[in-house]
Structure 1
Amino acid sequence: IRPMIRHHHERWDGNGYPDGLKGEEIPLGSRIIAVVDVFDALTSDRPYRRALDVDKAIGMIKREMEGYFDPNIARKFLRMFEELEYPLLHRKSPHHEG
C-alpha cells in the first residue's frame, strides 16, 4: 500500500513527483488512485473554490488526461460514468453543500 500512496502524484508522462516515474513504472494502484484523487478534489469544496459539478469534473479529466493519467485507467473511469449512466452526472457534486 505504501508505494501506491507514495506514487499517486506521479504522471504518466514522467512530470509528476516524488520520483519522476512514468508510464508502467508507476504502480498500478497509484495510477488508479491518481484518477480517483483528482475526481474527488474537483468535486469537493476547497477553501479556495467551490466543488465542481460531476459533469464538469468529468470534462476536465477528459481534457487533461493525456500525459497526466494512464490513458487506459482514465478511459475505464470515464466509461463507468457513460455506460452505467451514473446518477451523479445529473446532480450536484456528492461533496457539494447546497
Structure 2
Amino acid sequence: MLLRTPELAAIAPMVRHEHERWDGNGYPDGLIGTSIPVGSRVILACDAYNAMITARPYREPMSHAGARAELEAGAGTQFDPEVVSALLATLVSQHAPSPPTAAS
C-alpha cells in the first residue's frame, strides 16, 4: 500500500522491517544489525517500550524502570544497542526530577 502512494513510498522499507531483530531472529526477512533500516530499529524499540508501559486487557502496565531494564536486557539481541542507549537517555531526561528551586 505504501509503495503505491508516492508520498509514502520512501518509508515503506522502515515499516516493512519494524519487526526485524538486531540478532537476525526477526521477520519478515531475517535482516541483521545495520542491514535493518535505522528507522525500523527506532520504531521497534519505541514500540516495545510503549507496549511494556501500557495496560493491556491481559496484564498490568510495567513500570518505567522495569521497561527500561527490559530494553537494556534486549540491547544487542532484540534491539540495536545504540538505539537503546539513545532512547534510554531521552527517557531519563524526560522523567528526571526537576532541580530544586530557591523557593523549595
Aligned residues: 87
The one-letter code sitting in structure 1 at the alignment partner of 2:50 is D
Task: Tell me the residue number matched to 1:51.
Answer: 61
The normalised TM-score by structure 2 is 0.76
Describe the superposition over 1:56-91 as per-residue Cα deviations: whole angstroms up to 9, x where unpaired: 111111112221111111111112233x2x22x78x
Higher normalized contact order (CA 8 Å, seq sep 6+, divided by chain length) = 1
Unmatched segments (≥5 aa) in structure 1: 91-98
Gaps of 5+ in 2: 1-10, 98-104
Q: TM-score, normalised by structure 1?
A: 0.80
Superposed displacement of residue 37, structure 1: 0.5
1:80 equivalenced with 2:90 (yes/no): yes
Q: Runs of 4+ in structure 1 displaced over 4 angstroms?
A: none
Q: Within 5 Å, give how 1:1-98 maps onto structure 2.
A: 1-82=11-92, 84=93, 86-87=94-95
